[in-house]
Amino acid sequence: MSKKKKPKAKTKAKLPLQIKNEDLSITVRLLEPIQRGEDEVIEELRLKKPKAKHLRKIKLQDPEMDDMLVLAGKLSGEPPSVIDELGIEDMMEVIEVLGHFLGSMAVKIGRTA
């Protein structure tokens, strides 16, 4: 008696979540779009490459989550009310982009020395 194999569920091809732009900004496609008001849905965040002015008051040695969310707001031009509505997966993708921008000052979230 032979067993029939269950057909594998077809999965949609995943689109890249990060798109590098010519101006060195990075666009993050949101897995969970954010509703702003009644008529607008935010489907992606464009994070511009940071400058020194964006990093004022941020502890780069040991940044906290709040520091990273504030920086995400500054680089995307979105208010805290939008950044606060990011889903966990989207938030982690944004933090990965911030880590890319910060390079050797890599973002350490939730780690202790």
pLDDT digits (tens, 9 = 90+) for 41-59: 999 999 999 999 998 888 7
Enter the tokens of residue 33: 């779009």
3-class state of residue 62 by DSSP:
coil
Burial of 27 (0-12, 13-18, 19+ CB in 10 A): middle
For the stretch 60-78, pLDDT in tens is 777 789 999 999 999 999 9
pTM above threshold 0.85: no
CA separation for the pair 16, 89 (Å, rounded): 14
